[in-house]
Structure 1
Amino acid sequence: MKIELELWQFITLTTMILGAFWGIAKMMLAQSAKSLDEKFNAIHQRLTTQDESDRRLERDLTDLRVELPRDYVRREDFTRVIASFQVTVDNLRLTIERMLIEGKNRG
């Protein structure tokens, strides 16, 4: 089987084949660009949502930092207050014992 083509037919056929390849390549590039745009938009939306979440978390953490000193006592502070309370109670006990002993001695 022998195919004979004239020059103008060969040029036309070659141009058509190259045009078809170029069209397919352009279509594939457009689809991949569209896909990339969709992915970037999805990433942008997720980042925007994450930024809002980060701001809310930072605000909650700041509120917690403000509330902690007001609502909770450090262990050292609690120990110091309890120790001073115990000293006061011990002094009161000694005073009461002294008064009772003096009352027995007089009576």
Structure 2
Amino acid sequence: MVIEMTLANVITVAALFIASLWALVKVISGQQERRLSDRFDELGRSMQTIVKAQENNASATQELERELMKWKADLPLQYVRRDDYIRNQTVIEAKLDAMASMLGTAPKRGNQNHAD
């Protein structure tokens, strides 16, 4: 069996082969473009979700910062340092001791006033 091909047949077969390769490349690149587009769309949706979460975190952080500032402002009103407490307690105890000594000596002075 002998196959004869003329120059026109060879050119036609080569053109068909090149055209089929070209069509295959176009189909593959179209699928790749579609996949890339889908990935970028998903990435965009993910970025929007991240942006929304970031905004929520930012507002929560600001609220937390406000609460911390309130606590810092209220802290001196509600908290007494140990040294201040000890100093105040010492003053109160000294006054009580002085009052006790005055009350302890008061009956003796009273008796002395009645003896005169």
Per the normalisation by structure 2, the TM-score is: 0.79
1:42-84 deviation per Cα after TM superposition (whole angstroms, max 9, x unaligned): 111111110111111011111101101323649xx9463x432
SS at match of 1:14: helix
Partner amino acid for 2:50? Q
Identity %, equivalent residues: 16
The count of residues paired between Structure 1 and Structure 2 equals 104
Q: Which structure would you say has the larger Rg? A: 2
1:1-50 deviation per Cα after TM superposition (whole angstroms, max 9, x unaligned): 54211122111111111111100010000001111111111111111110
Q: Which residue of 1 aligns with 2:45?
A: 45
> Runs (4+) of structure 1 moved beyond 6 Å?
none
Unaligned runs of 5+ residues in structure 1 are none
The alignment status of 1:15 with 2:15, answered yes or no, reads: yes
C-alpha separation between the residues in 2 aligned to 1:69 and 1:101? 48
Q: Which residue of 2 aligns with 1:69?
A: 69
Unaligned runs of 5+ residues in structure 2 are 108-116
